[in-house]
Amino acid sequence: MSEVTTPLVNAAGVLRTSAQPTTETLQAPGEHVEAVLDSLLPTSDADWSGLSMDETITRLAAEIDQNGFAILENYLSPEMLEQGRTFISQQTQQHNGEYFAIHGIEALSGSLPASLALSTPLREMLSELYKTQTGRAPSAEEQVFPVIRCLQGKSGLKQSHFYHFDATAVTALLPLYIPTEGEHCGDLIIFPNLRPVRFNALFNVIEKAVLHNSFSQKMVALAVKRGWLKPIRLKLEPGNLYLFWGYRSLHANDECDPALLRATALFHFGNPHHDSWLARLILGTNKRRAKLDHNGLRPVN
Protein backbone atom coordinates (compact mmCIF):
# COMPACT_ATOMS: atom_id res chain seq x y z
CA MET A 1 0.00 0.00 0.00
CA SER A 2 1.38 3.41 -0.93
CA GLU A 3 2.24 5.36 2.19
CA VAL A 4 3.25 8.97 2.65
CA THR A 5 4.72 9.78 6.04
CA THR A 6 6.03 13.30 5.45
CA PRO A 7 4.26 16.37 4.05
CA LEU A 8 4.63 16.94 0.32
CA VAL A 9 6.40 20.17 -0.58
CA ASN A 10 7.62 20.87 -4.08
CA ALA A 11 11.14 22.02 -4.86
CA ALA A 12 10.20 25.67 -4.85
CA GLY A 13 8.62 25.33 -1.42
CA VAL A 14 5.42 26.86 -2.73
CA LEU A 15 3.17 24.57 -0.72
CA ARG A 16 4.74 25.65 2.55
CA THR A 17 3.32 28.71 4.28
CA SER A 18 4.76 30.06 7.50
CA ALA A 19 2.42 33.02 7.77
CA GLN A 20 0.81 32.74 11.19
CA PRO A 21 -1.15 35.09 13.45
CA THR A 22 0.70 36.19 16.55
CA THR A 23 -0.40 35.49 20.10
CA GLU A 24 -1.22 39.16 20.54
CA THR A 25 -3.73 39.12 17.67
CA LEU A 26 -5.34 35.83 18.63
CA GLN A 27 -8.76 36.34 20.19
CA ALA A 28 -11.45 34.12 21.61
CA PRO A 29 -13.36 32.21 18.92
CA GLY A 30 -15.43 34.55 16.81
CA GLU A 31 -13.85 37.79 18.09
CA HIS A 32 -12.01 39.77 15.41
CA VAL A 33 -11.27 36.44 13.81
CA GLU A 34 -11.43 37.77 10.24
CA ALA A 35 -8.36 39.94 10.80
CA VAL A 36 -6.53 37.01 12.35
CA LEU A 37 -7.43 34.57 9.60
CA ASP A 38 -6.45 37.00 6.85
CA SER A 39 -2.85 36.21 7.78
CA LEU A 40 -3.28 32.48 7.14
CA LEU A 41 -2.83 32.92 3.40
CA PRO A 42 0.00 35.16 2.19
CA THR A 43 -1.12 38.19 0.21
CA SER A 44 2.20 39.18 -1.38
CA ASP A 45 4.24 37.48 -4.05
CA ALA A 46 7.20 37.24 -1.70
CA ASP A 47 5.22 35.19 0.78
CA TRP A 48 4.61 32.63 -1.98
CA SER A 49 8.26 32.23 -2.99
CA GLY A 50 7.90 34.81 -5.75
CA LEU A 51 4.70 33.36 -7.23
CA SER A 52 1.46 35.23 -7.74
CA MET A 53 -1.76 33.84 -6.28
CA ASP A 54 -2.81 32.59 -9.72
CA GLU A 55 0.51 30.80 -10.15
CA THR A 56 0.25 29.33 -6.68
CA ILE A 57 -3.25 27.99 -7.34
CA THR A 58 -2.00 26.49 -10.59
CA ARG A 59 0.84 24.77 -8.74
CA LEU A 60 -1.48 23.48 -6.02
CA ALA A 61 -3.91 22.13 -8.60
CA ALA A 62 -1.06 20.48 -10.49
CA GLU A 63 0.13 18.78 -7.28
CA ILE A 64 -3.36 17.42 -6.65
CA ASP A 65 -3.68 16.23 -10.25
CA GLN A 66 -0.30 14.51 -10.18
CA ASN A 67 -0.13 13.15 -6.63
CA GLY A 68 -3.74 13.06 -5.51
CA PHE A 69 -3.28 15.70 -2.81
CA ALA A 70 -1.38 18.83 -1.80
CA ILE A 71 -0.35 19.99 1.66
CA LEU A 72 -0.04 23.45 3.16
CA GLU A 73 2.29 22.86 6.09
CA ASN A 74 1.73 24.72 9.37
CA TYR A 75 -1.49 26.25 8.09
CA LEU A 76 -2.41 26.92 11.70
CA SER A 77 -0.09 28.55 14.19
CA PRO A 78 0.39 26.64 17.48
CA GLU A 79 -1.92 29.16 19.17
CA MET A 80 -4.71 28.65 16.67
CA LEU A 81 -4.28 24.89 16.76
CA GLU A 82 -4.70 25.03 20.52
CA GLN A 83 -7.82 27.15 20.07
CA GLY A 84 -9.29 24.52 17.77
CA ARG A 85 -8.39 21.76 20.21
CA THR A 86 -10.08 23.58 23.07
CA PHE A 87 -13.37 23.45 21.18
CA ILE A 88 -12.87 19.75 20.42
CA SER A 89 -12.14 18.97 24.08
CA GLN A 90 -15.34 20.69 25.14
CA GLN A 91 -17.35 18.70 22.61
CA THR A 92 -15.78 15.33 23.46
CA GLN A 93 -16.87 15.73 27.07
CA GLN A 94 -20.43 16.43 25.97
CA HIS A 95 -20.45 13.28 23.81
CA ASN A 96 -19.20 10.96 26.55
CA GLY A 97 -16.08 9.85 24.74
CA GLU A 98 -17.94 8.45 21.70
CA TYR A 99 -18.04 9.33 18.00
CA PHE A 100 -19.73 12.53 16.90
CA ALA A 101 -19.86 14.86 13.92
CA ILE A 102 -21.04 18.47 13.70
CA HIS A 103 -22.17 19.89 10.35
CA GLY A 104 -22.52 23.48 9.22
CA ILE A 105 -21.43 26.99 10.13
CA GLU A 106 -24.29 27.65 12.52
CA ALA A 107 -23.85 24.44 14.50
CA LEU A 108 -20.14 25.25 14.80
CA SER A 109 -20.73 28.92 15.59
CA GLY A 110 -17.99 30.50 17.68
CA SER A 111 -15.45 27.80 16.87
CA LEU A 112 -12.26 28.02 14.86
CA PRO A 113 -13.62 25.77 12.06
CA ALA A 114 -16.65 28.04 11.61
CA SER A 115 -14.46 31.13 11.54
CA LEU A 116 -12.19 29.53 8.96
CA ALA A 117 -15.19 28.59 6.82
CA LEU A 118 -16.35 32.21 6.88
CA SER A 119 -12.91 33.67 6.19
CA THR A 120 -12.28 35.33 2.84
CA PRO A 121 -8.81 33.80 2.26
CA LEU A 122 -9.99 30.21 2.57
CA ARG A 123 -13.04 30.71 0.36
CA GLU A 124 -10.98 32.50 -2.28
CA MET A 125 -8.41 29.70 -2.34
CA LEU A 126 -11.04 26.97 -2.62
CA SER A 127 -12.96 28.99 -5.20
CA GLU A 128 -9.87 29.42 -7.37
CA LEU A 129 -9.05 25.72 -7.08
CA TYR A 130 -12.62 24.92 -8.15
CA LYS A 131 -12.32 27.17 -11.20
CA THR A 132 -8.97 25.65 -12.12
CA GLN A 133 -10.37 22.15 -11.77
CA THR A 134 -13.69 22.63 -13.57
CA GLY A 135 -13.21 25.66 -15.81
CA ARG A 136 -16.32 27.20 -14.27
CA ALA A 137 -16.95 29.74 -11.55
CA PRO A 138 -18.77 28.48 -8.45
CA SER A 139 -22.18 29.80 -7.54
CA ALA A 140 -21.89 33.25 -5.98
CA GLU A 141 -24.19 32.06 -3.19
CA GLU A 142 -22.15 29.01 -2.26
CA GLN A 143 -20.40 29.01 1.09
CA VAL A 144 -17.67 26.80 2.48
CA PHE A 145 -19.36 23.92 4.32
CA PRO A 146 -17.46 22.93 7.51
CA VAL A 147 -17.73 19.60 9.29
CA ILE A 148 -16.09 18.35 12.48
CA ARG A 149 -15.58 14.58 12.80
CA CYS A 150 -14.30 13.04 16.02
CA LEU A 151 -13.45 9.34 16.15
CA GLN A 152 -13.26 7.95 19.67
CA GLY A 153 -14.73 5.10 21.68
CA LYS A 154 -16.32 1.93 20.33
CA SER A 155 -18.67 3.88 18.08
CA GLY A 156 -15.64 5.49 16.45
CA LEU A 157 -14.47 2.09 15.24
CA LYS A 158 -17.62 1.86 13.10
CA GLN A 159 -16.75 5.10 11.28
CA SER A 160 -13.80 3.85 9.25
CA HIS A 161 -13.37 2.59 5.68
CA PHE A 162 -16.62 4.17 4.47
CA TYR A 163 -15.32 4.85 0.97
CA HIS A 164 -17.16 7.65 -0.77
CA PHE A 165 -17.00 10.57 -3.21
CA ASP A 166 -17.74 14.01 -1.79
CA ALA A 167 -20.55 16.16 -3.17
CA THR A 168 -18.13 19.06 -3.70
CA ALA A 169 -15.18 19.34 -6.06
CA VAL A 170 -12.63 20.58 -3.51
CA THR A 171 -12.07 19.17 -0.03
CA ALA A 172 -9.73 20.64 2.58
CA LEU A 173 -8.93 18.53 5.63
CA LEU A 174 -7.48 20.11 8.78
CA PRO A 175 -6.35 17.63 11.47
CA LEU A 176 -6.68 18.86 15.06
CA TYR A 177 -6.01 15.67 17.05
CA ILE A 178 -4.30 12.66 15.45
CA PRO A 179 -3.19 9.52 17.36
CA THR A 180 0.51 8.75 17.17
CA GLU A 181 0.50 5.40 18.98
CA GLY A 182 -0.51 1.97 17.73
CA GLU A 183 -0.82 0.41 14.30
CA HIS A 184 -3.90 2.35 13.22
CA CYS A 185 -3.95 6.13 13.59
CA GLY A 186 -6.88 7.12 11.38
CA ASP A 187 -4.82 7.71 8.24
CA LEU A 188 -6.52 9.37 5.28
CA ILE A 189 -6.90 6.77 2.52
CA ILE A 190 -7.38 8.02 -1.05
CA PHE A 191 -7.97 6.52 -4.46
CA PRO A 192 -7.27 9.80 -6.24
CA ASN A 193 -8.98 11.27 -9.26
CA LEU A 194 -10.96 8.21 -10.34
CA ARG A 195 -13.70 10.10 -12.14
CA PRO A 196 -14.24 13.49 -13.78
CA VAL A 197 -16.37 16.27 -12.35
CA ARG A 198 -19.82 15.54 -13.73
CA PHE A 199 -22.12 18.46 -14.27
CA ASN A 200 -24.92 16.03 -15.15
CA ALA A 201 -26.49 15.28 -11.77
CA LEU A 202 -28.12 12.07 -13.01
CA PHE A 203 -24.76 10.44 -13.84
CA ASN A 204 -23.48 11.46 -10.43
CA VAL A 205 -26.49 9.92 -8.70
CA ILE A 206 -26.01 6.64 -10.60
CA GLU A 207 -22.31 6.45 -9.73
CA LYS A 208 -23.00 7.08 -6.09
CA ALA A 209 -25.77 4.49 -6.05
CA VAL A 210 -23.25 1.91 -7.28
CA LEU A 211 -20.35 2.86 -5.03
CA HIS A 212 -21.99 4.27 -1.91
CA ASN A 213 -24.02 1.22 -0.92
CA SER A 214 -22.89 -0.86 2.04
CA PHE A 215 -21.92 -3.89 -0.06
CA SER A 216 -19.57 -1.90 -2.32
CA GLN A 217 -18.03 -0.11 0.65
CA LYS A 218 -17.39 -3.39 2.46
CA MET A 219 -15.81 -4.91 -0.65
CA VAL A 220 -13.47 -1.96 -1.10
CA ALA A 221 -12.57 -2.03 2.59
CA LEU A 222 -11.82 -5.75 2.41
CA ALA A 223 -9.67 -5.31 -0.70
CA VAL A 224 -7.67 -2.54 0.99
CA LYS A 225 -7.13 -4.54 4.18
CA ARG A 226 -6.04 -7.62 2.20
CA GLY A 227 -3.69 -5.56 0.06
CA TRP A 228 -5.55 -6.29 -3.18
CA LEU A 229 -6.07 -2.57 -3.72
CA LYS A 230 -3.29 -0.10 -3.02
CA PRO A 231 -4.55 3.42 -2.35
CA ILE A 232 -2.53 6.36 -1.09
CA ARG A 233 -2.31 6.37 2.69
CA LEU A 234 -1.57 9.75 4.27
CA LYS A 235 -0.18 10.15 7.78
CA LEU A 236 -1.84 13.32 9.05
CA GLU A 237 -0.10 16.09 11.01
CA PRO A 238 -2.19 18.45 13.18
CA GLY A 239 -2.15 22.01 11.89
CA ASN A 240 -1.40 21.12 8.25
CA LEU A 241 -4.07 21.64 5.59
CA TYR A 242 -4.59 18.76 3.14
CA LEU A 243 -6.23 19.52 -0.20
CA PHE A 244 -7.68 17.00 -2.65
CA TRP A 245 -10.40 16.65 -5.26
CA GLY A 246 -13.07 15.18 -2.99
CA TYR A 247 -15.66 14.81 -5.76
CA ARG A 248 -13.30 12.84 -7.99
CA SER A 249 -11.46 10.80 -5.34
CA LEU A 250 -12.80 7.75 -3.52
CA HIS A 251 -11.62 8.16 0.06
CA ALA A 252 -12.12 7.20 3.69
CA ASN A 253 -10.25 7.12 6.98
CA ASP A 254 -8.50 4.16 8.54
CA GLU A 255 -9.61 3.03 11.97
CA CYS A 256 -7.85 4.17 15.13
CA ASP A 257 -7.59 2.92 18.70
CA PRO A 258 -10.94 3.55 20.47
CA ALA A 259 -9.03 4.80 23.51
CA LEU A 260 -7.50 7.60 21.42
CA LEU A 261 -8.98 10.66 19.71
CA ARG A 262 -8.90 11.53 16.02
CA ALA A 263 -10.48 14.93 15.36
CA THR A 264 -10.51 16.67 12.00
CA ALA A 265 -12.17 19.68 10.45
CA LEU A 266 -13.33 19.28 6.85
CA PHE A 267 -14.10 22.16 4.51
CA HIS A 268 -16.17 21.35 1.43
CA PHE A 269 -16.57 23.73 -1.48
CA GLY A 270 -17.65 23.76 -5.11
CA ASN A 271 -20.80 21.74 -5.64
CA PRO A 272 -21.17 21.23 -9.42
CA HIS A 273 -24.84 20.35 -8.83
CA HIS A 274 -25.56 23.35 -6.61
CA ASP A 275 -28.64 24.32 -8.61
CA SER A 276 -29.86 20.79 -9.38
CA TRP A 277 -33.15 19.82 -7.77
CA LEU A 278 -32.32 16.15 -8.40
CA ALA A 279 -29.08 16.36 -6.44
CA ARG A 280 -30.82 18.17 -3.59
CA LEU A 281 -33.56 15.54 -3.50
CA ILE A 282 -31.38 12.42 -3.58
CA LEU A 283 -27.98 13.50 -2.28
CA GLY A 284 -26.87 15.76 0.56
CA THR A 285 -27.66 13.27 3.33
CA ASN A 286 -25.56 15.03 5.95
CA LYS A 287 -27.20 18.38 5.32
CA ARG A 288 -30.68 16.87 5.53
CA ARG A 289 -29.85 15.12 8.79
CA ALA A 290 -28.60 18.40 10.20
CA LYS A 291 -31.72 20.15 8.82
CA LEU A 292 -29.64 22.48 6.65
CA ASP A 293 -30.34 23.92 3.22
CA HIS A 294 -28.04 23.27 0.24
CA ASN A 295 -25.83 26.19 1.35
CA GLY A 296 -25.29 24.54 4.72
CA LEU A 297 -27.48 27.00 6.61
CA ARG A 298 -30.62 26.52 8.66
CA PRO A 299 -33.66 27.67 6.65
CA VAL A 300 -35.52 30.65 8.04
CA ASN A 301 -38.98 29.58 9.22
Within a domain: residue 66? yes
Query: What residue numbers bound the domain in which 113 lies?
Result: 14-289
Contact between residue 176 and residue 263 where contact means Cβ atoms under 8 Å apart: yes
Indicate which CATH number applies to the domain containing 108.
2.60.120.620
DSSP string, 70-113: EEEBT-S-HHHHHHHHHHHHHHHHHTTTS-EEEESTTTTTTSHH
Within a domain: residue 185? yes
Q: How many domains does the chain have?
A: 1
Q: How confident is the model at residue 280 (pLDDT cuts 50, 70, 90)?
A: low
Q: What pLDDT digit, counting tens, does each position of 139-183 carry?
A: 888 999 999 999 988 776 778 898 999 989 999 999 999 999 878
Within a domain: residue 2? no
Within a domain: residue 295? no
Mean pLDDT across the stretch 277-292? 54
Within a domain: residue 170? yes
Within a domain: residue 91? yes
Within a domain: residue 299? no
As a whole-number percent, the residues of the chain with pLDDT over 70 amount to 74
Is pTM beyond 0.85 here?
A: no
pLDDT of residue 39: 46
pLDDT at 27 over 50: no
Within a domain: residue 39? yes
